[in-house]
Structure 1
């Protein structure tokens, strides 16, 4: 017959093994890797950026190891649902359409949409005035984004909308003169405007009146969503989020 001491020791060993197994758990986070400063590859091919650092901070708070998996933007939700990674942290807007395919955490930042065009382009006034100036012009945006959808839904009859597989390619065409203007996420455009190619361009008009919240996606019904949301609240409360924010932006994007 087992003694009480033997039973307690066995129970303690079981708990230790369970704790160790949880601590060794690896979660794969899906990221596009082509959207600076939120996610892109450095010279060595390593994925870096705001999204990556927030994801790593969340994993550290949950006491699990994180591994980054890249995916093309167009297929990133199918890749999540095919279990190629466990959660998707790639500056994705929370929309009703996407909620039918995935579950989202609470937002981890708030986005704005704004036009970018050459400094020489006289593009001012309210949205109606900007639309009139751009009538018949070619406006670019990344495909399967809020920017692309907004252009097609609201200005599709008045301008030529050209959609790209990545934001980087849209910026390349803007810089080469193949676009008259571009509609994109303000913070990604802010980063591009600071670079060499962006020096001849600037924001035009005010940000669009679009309430764009960015969330982390998981598969439908996955309890990981609540764990990520709680971890996000914790890194905001303890100042970790602000340190990462301040590394990339001189203003809060929360």
Structure 2
């Protein structure tokens, strides 16, 4: 048998031994906004940092693929994913029925409630429901009662939300008759307008608000208030956004996510970046 034939047989045998599956030398390109601290943000020297950066690298190690993390504007993420500019989204993207019409999701890797950021000196700092948690899916009556209780206080005020988010969908559904809603491209922009007095409140993910409260300009004089809200229009947890036809990559992400949760890695990273455990419970 010639050398060429021997080489061909060896390569074919190796392929059979490896069996079906995603190539281990594959590069998986993951998009983040790079402006949603502490989930992901652009640090010193333009380096991407945060919970999802650390978690993405860990998941890629578990999947035995090369991980390339790129920054992408939030409002163009889903179209860019479907245009194959990258393979996955890890940007605190909440799983919703509306988004499932366009893309698929992995299993949850995090859960995060939502609340209001206000100036401590504002009348809104006395918002009812502070310290209480409600789920719009499992407690619809109680949650809507809590929302109704805050509407009189918000009457005539201005509320900032990030565009194309679950928070903007919530504000439009429940608060548009009570408050002037202003949409922003990034959370940093609405935080700055709150600090400058151009907004009375911000509605955002509680973990993002906690990150804001760690910044020098917000360490004093601001507070997270109001009921802690999840479910319903606010979605069912945070997962990796994927193209609908990329089923193999979805399986790999699910296996890696479950492994990272089970061995405590996801919790360790959560405590590092949020000081609380945001890993899914049940």
Q: Shared topology, TM-score over 0.5?
A: yes
Q: Which residue of 2 aligns with 1:181?
A: 201
Q: Structure 1, residues 59-115: CA drift from partner, whole Å, max 9, x if none? A: 100000000121100101001001010011111011111000000011110111101
SS class of match (1:92): coil
Q: 1:131-146, aligned counterparts within 5 Å?
A: 131-146=151-166
Aligned length: 252
Deviation at 1:208, TM superposition (A): 2.2
Residue 38 of structure 2 contacts residue 274 of structure 2 at CA under 8 Å; is this kept in 1?
Answer: no
Q: Structure 1, residues 178-208: CA drift from partner, whole Å, max 9, x if none? A: 0001100000000111221212110112212
SS class of match (2:240): strand
Deviation at 1:53, TM superposition (A): 1.1
Q: What is the alpha-carbon distance in structure 2 between the residues aligned to residue 180 and residue 42 of structure 1?
A: 28
Q: 1:85-234, aligned counterparts within 5 Å?
A: 85-122=86-123, 123-126=126-129, 127-198=147-218, 199-210=220-231, 212=235, 213-223=237-247, 224-234=249-259
SS class of match (2:227): coil
Q: Which residue of 1 aligns with 2:56?
A: 55
Cα RMSD (Å): 2.4
Deviation at 1:129, TM superposition (A): 3.3
Unaligned runs of 5+ in 2: 130-146
Q: Which residue of 2 aligns with 1:248?
A: 273
Deviation at 1:249, TM superposition (A): 2.3
Unaligned runs of 5+ in 1: none
Rate the CA distance shift 1:117–1:64 in 2: closer, same or farther, 3 A: same
Q: What is the alpha-carbon distance in structure 2 between the residues aligned to residue 89 and residue 12 of structure 1?
A: 37
SS class of match (2:107): coil
Which segment is superposed worse, 112-121 or 207-216? 207-216
Q: What is the alpha-carbon distance in structure 2 between the residues aligned to residue 197 and residue 171 of structure 1?
A: 10
SS class of match (1:53): helix
Residue 113 of structure 1 contacts residue 210 of structure 1 at CA under 8 Å; is this kept in 2?
Answer: no
Q: TM-score, normalised by structure 1?
A: 0.91
Residue 267 of structure 2 contacts residue 278 of structure 2 at CA under 8 Å; is this kept in 1?
Answer: no
Deviation at 1:153, TM superposition (A): 1.2
Q: Structure 1, residues 18-42: CA drift from partner, whole Å, max 9, x if none? A: 99x9332211001111100011111
Residue 217 of structure 1 contacts residue 225 of structure 1 at CA under 8 Å; is this kept in 2?
Answer: no
Q: What is the alpha-carbon distance in structure 2 between the residues aligned to residue 142 and residue 13 of structure 1?
A: 50
